[in-house]
Structure 1
Amino acid sequence: MIKKAFYNVRCLSTSNLKPKTGIVMLNMGGPEKLDQVGDYLFKIMTDRDMIQLPIAQDILGPWIAKRRTPKVQKMYKDIGGGSPILKWTKLQGELLCKTLEKEMPQNAPYKPYVAFRYVTPFTDDAFSELERDNVEQVILFSQYPQYSCATSGSSFNDIYRYFKGKKFPDFKFSVIDRWATHPLLAKCFADLIRKELQQISDDDKKDLIILFSAHSLPLKTVNRGDSYPSEVGATVQLVMSELNFSYPYQLVWQSKVGPLPWLGPMTDEAIKTYVKQGKKAFVVVPIAFVNEHIETLHELDIEYCKELANEVGVKTIRRVATPNDHPLFIQALADIVKTHLQSSIAVSPKFLTRCPHCVNINCIKSKKWYAEVCRL
C-alpha cells in the first residue's frame, strides 16, 4: 500500500526543474533489510549524542550491538523484514513539497531530501545530493516534533560534523528544530484517536483510559535539562483539549534499554497496574512518532497490545496509527515550513541555548556554528 501511494505521488510530480528550496527531513531511520540491523545498532550504541555508556563506550557499545542483533533481527522479521520509515518519510516529503508548490510558489520548486542518522540515506548522502542540485535555500526540518538532545540533537550535530573543515556552500541555511505545539499536529492526533474510539463499545468506554506513549529517556538526560519530556507533555495537553478532555488519560514511556533509571511510568507497567485498578479498555497513542516503525509495529502492536493484553486480561485495546500521510499532518508540515520561511528567524534562540547541565562538547561547537551560518 505504501509503495503504491509513493509511486502515484512520484508520477503526479510536475516539477522537473532545478530545485530552489531543499527540505531535509531529519530522523533516526530504520533498517529496511535484516542484514542492515547489525550496523544500525552499532551506530546507535557508539553515538555518544544518543547514548552515554558509563565506561569504555568504544568497546562496550559494539559488544552490546553485536549481542542484541539476533533479537532485533527477529523483531524486524516479525513486522515484515524491515522498517517502513524510509517509505513513509519519502511519501511525507513528496506530499509536503506538492502542497508548498501550490501554497507558496515563490519558493518553488521544492525538493525533499532524507537524512537518517543510523541507516541510509545518511547525512552525507543528503548533502551530496543537495550540493549537486545547487539549491538556493536549505531547510533542516526535524521530523521529531518534540526536541531531544539524543535524537534531534544528534542529527543536527552530525550535520555540523559533515561541514566541519569544509567551505560552506553558497546557499541560505535554516533550522526547524521542534513543533510540538502546532495546532494541526494536535488536530491530526485527535482525529486518529476518534477513529479508534468509534471501534469501542459504550460499555467499555466507561472504564477506558487513553495512554499517550513516547520513547523514554534516561533520567540523567532529563536531569541535564533535556526539553523532550515537557514538550511531549505539551502535545498531549493540546490533543486532549481537542477531545474536550472527555476521557481519562496518562502520559507513559516506552523503549527503555539497560539497567539505569529511565523516565517513567513505562507503558507496559502502566497497562498492568491499570488493569488491576479495573480499567477494561485502552487506547494507546504513539504521541512522539510521526510514522510507523519498530517501536509502533512491534513494541506497541505485538508486545503490548497483543501479548501483554492477553497476559493480563485486557478486554479492549486499540493502537492509534501514527500520522503517516494523514491530510491534517501533511498540512501541518506545510504550515510549519511556510511560517518558517515567512519569519525572520533562521534558527530559534531555544535551539542555540544549551541545556543547563550540558556536558556534550559537540553541542558547544555545533550551536556556535549554527548561529554563524544560518540565514533566511
Structure 2
Amino acid sequence: MMNLGGPATLDEVEPFLLRLFADKEIIQLPWQDVLGKFIATRRAPKVRKLYDAIGGGSPILTWTKAQGDAMCARLDEMSPDTAPHKFYVSFRYTAPFADDALKAMKADGITRAVAFTQYPQWSCSTTGSSLNDLWRALDRTGLQDAFTWSIIDRWGEHEGFVRSMASAIDDGLDQYADHERDDVLVLFSAHSLPLKVIDRGDAYPAEIAASVSRVVQAAELRNPYMLSFQSEVGPVRWLGPSTETMIKQLAARGQKNVLVVPIAFTSDHIETLSEIDIEYGELAHSLGMTGFKRAPSLNARTEFLDALADIVNGHLESGQPHSTQYKQNCPGCTNAACRGLPSKMTTQGTRDVSVESAASR
C-alpha cells in the first residue's frame, strides 16, 4: 500500500521534510540540494508545532494498517484461490520505506506482489514517484527477481470508492440543522501540484474532476459544489484555485455554510486534521463563516474497506499487469524512469498475494 507517508513522531518531522524537498519528482527547485534543505530546515519548527497540535505525529500509518488488515481479511473470503493475503506499507519520506517492505516480503516468503497505490487519482508526482522509488528499491536491495508484480495505479472512479465518498458527504451534511442544509456549499478539496507538473500533461486534474463528478452523481447532491486545491509549499506556482483563497472569496460574498470534502485523501492526516480543521477553520470563522465544517475522512468506514478489497479482487481476477493508462507518458515527460516496470510482471493471478502499500501523510 503506497503513499507519501507522514512523521509518526515530532523527531521525524525534519527528516521527513528534508526527503520531501530533496525529491525532484515532487518539487523542482533551482539549486535543489541547497534550497530544498534550506526550506525544509526553516519549515521544520513550524511544522513540528502543527503535528504537535494534532497529537504529536501523523496517524496515517495507524489508519493504513487498519485498512490493510480489514482489506486482507475480506480478500481471504472473496478470493480463497489467491489466499492468504498480506499487506505491507511503503512510504516515500518516512518509515516504513520501500526497502523495508521488500525485505519483509522476502523474509516472509512472498513471491507474488501487487503494488497498490493509496492515491485514488493518478499523478506522476504521487503514484508515479512511489512506483519509481519501488522499482529503484528492488535494485537497491538486490531483489529484482524475488517477486512477480502487478500494479493498481488508479481507482478514483471505482464504484466502492465513489459510494464511500458519497456516504461521507451525507454524514457531513447531517452536521447541519435541517433549515441550513440546503444552504450548504460543498467544497471538494484536493492536494495541489506544482504547475510545472500539470504543464507536462499530468492526468491529475482530469482524474480529480472525474472523481468529483462521479461522487456528486452517486450522492444525488442537490447542493452547489466547487473544487479547490490545498497544501502548496515552496516558491513555485501551484495548481489553483487554492482552498484558502476560495474560503476568503466565499465568505466575502456572504456564504455562511461550507462543507469541505477531502476528495484525494483516504484517511486523516495533517492536511485534514491541521490544515482544514484548524487553519482553514479559524480563517473561515474569522471571516464570519459560521457553518464551516468538514466531511469525515474515509478512515475505517465500512464501505471504504469493502472498496479496497473489491479493487484488489477485481485486479487479480482481470489478470492484467496494470491499467491501460499506466504506460501513457505525459507528452512533456522528461523523466526517463517514469512508467517503468520491474523485470517480473504477471498476466494471471497466483497464490500467496501480498499487497504492497504506500500511504499518505
TM-score for both structures, normalised by structure 2: 0.93
- Alpha carbons 1:172, 1:374 under 8 Å: kept: yes
Q: Which residue of the other structure, out of 171, 175, 183, is the alignment partner of 2:159?
A: 183
Does residue 130 of structure 2 align to residue 155 of structure 1?
Answer: yes
Give the structure 1 partner of residue 335 of structure 2.
360
Within-5 A mapping of 1:275-314: 275-305=251-281, 307-314=282-289
1:100 to 51, 62, 75: 75
* Counterpart residue number, 1:271: 247
Task: Output the CA distance in 2 between the equivalents of 1:283 and 1:205.
Answer: 10
Report 1 or 2 for greater relative contact order, CA contacts < 8 Å, sequence distance ≥ 6.
2
Q: Do residues 35 (structure 1) and 2 (structure 2) align? A: no
Asked if 1:212 is matched to 2:188, the reply is yes
TM-score norm. by structure 1 comes to: 0.89
Residues 197-276 of structure 1: pairs in structure 2 closer than 5 A? 197-276=173-252
Letter in 2 for 1:189: M
Distance 1:368 1:79, change over 3 A: closer
Unaligned 5+ segments in structure 2 are: 349-361
1:72-83 to structure 2, matched below 5 A, reads 72-83=47-58
For structure 1, the 5+ residue unaligned runs are 1-24
Q: Secondary structure at the match of 1:51?
A: coil
Judged with a 3 Å threshold, the aligned counterparts in structure 2 of structure 1 residues 276 and 110 are, in CA distance, closer, same or farther, namely: same
Question: Which one of the candidate residues 321, 325, 341 is aligned to 1:369?
Answer: 341
Question: Could you say which residue in structure 2 is the equivalent of 1:70?
Answer: 45
Residue 51 of structure 1: aligned partner: 27
1:333 aligns with 2:308: yes
Match of 2:95 in 1: 120
The Cα of 1:368 is off from its aligned counterpart by: 4.1
Q: Secondary structure at the match of 1:290?
A: coil
Tell me what 1:3 maps to. Answer: none
RMSD: 1.3
Identity %: 45
Q: Say how many residue pairs are matched.
A: 346
Corresponding residue for residue 140 of structure 1: 115
- State the AA in 1 paired with 2:152: I
1:61 aligns with 2:36: yes
**Could you report, residue by residue, the CA deviation over 1:266-320 in whole angstroms, capped at 9, with x for unpaired residues?**
1111111112222210110011000110000000000012x11221001212211
Instruction: Please name the residue that 1:14 is paired with.
Output: none
Q: Equivalent residue for 2:356?
A: none
Alpha carbons of 1:130 and 1:208: their partners in 2 closer, same or farther (altered >3 Å)? same
What is the match of residue 9 of structure 1? Answer: none
Moved over 6 A (4+): none
Is the alpha carbon distance of 1:31 and 1:98 closer, same or farther for their aligned partners in structure 2, counting shifts above 3 Å?
Answer: same
Question: For residue 194 of structure 1, what is the aligned residue in structure 2?
Answer: 170
